[in-house]
Amino acid sequence: MANHTQGIILEAFESMLDRMPFEKITVTALIRECNIGRSTFYYHYEDIFALLDAALLKELGRYKEAAQDKNWQEVLKALLYACRANKKRVYHIFNSLSRERLEHYFFEQTESTISAYILRMAEQRRAAPERTQIITDIVVYAVYGYFLRFLRDDMEDDIEASVNKLGAVFDELLDRMLH
């Protein structure tokens, strides 16, 4: 029953995000939308930010799982296509969040995926762990900048071509830096 109720809350929240900015969504409006009591909401979520955390982690979790079977470029492409398919929702969240919170979500979800990829390459080349961490940081920040530019440019980039170019540059960079 708890998972069912959480699903109802998440669905209502996602529906509201399609219609309005995150900053305009209140617990009162949300509980009215899904026809539950205030205590039911607070049983499942501490506040509206905890609900946002759950919604983003659920969505981003799909890509994290897929990352184990695919290379990071394919995961990034899938994520960007999903952003484009849910453009209004993405901008309703993006424009409402502080940079600090946005960075928290981004780095929490991408660093482990990118780090795993770089570690695999570093192990093959027997690179020093300190150097590997610096390279990981550089690549994570570069992907973050790429994502911000993608959003700034209204998600109009050619996803296939731009991610392929980014991947080629990273592969060359990693090959040179991991010696």
**Mean per-residue pLDDT, 38-47:** 94
Q: Retrieve residue 75's tokens.
A: 């995961």
Instruction: Kindly indicate the confidence band of residue 21, based on its pLDDT and cuts at 50, 70 and 90.
Output: very high
**Mean per-residue pLDDT, 19-33:** 95
The pTM is what?
A: 0.83
pLDDT at position 110 is: 76
Domain 2-44, CATH class in plain words: mainly alpha
pLDDT at position 179 is: 67
pLDDT at position 24 is: 95
In tens, the pLDDT along 143-155 reads 889 999 999 999 9
Asked whether residue 76 carries a pLDDT value surpassing 90, the answer given is no
| Sequence ranges of the domains in the chain | 2-44, 56-177
pLDDT at position 67 is: 59
Instruction: Kindly indicate the confidence band of residue 138, based on its pLDDT and cuts at 50, 70 and 90.
Output: confident
In tens, the pLDDT along 58-74 reads 887 776 666 565 677 88
In tens, the pLDDT along 80-124 reads 999 999 999 999 999 998 888 888 877 877 777 778 778 877 787
Residue % of the chain over a pLDDT of 90: 47
pLDDT at position 18 is: 93
- Distance, CA of 67 to CA of 139 (rounded, Å): 16
Measured between alpha carbons, how far is residue 9 from residues 4, 52, 60, 148, 179 in Å? 9, 11, 18, 29, 50
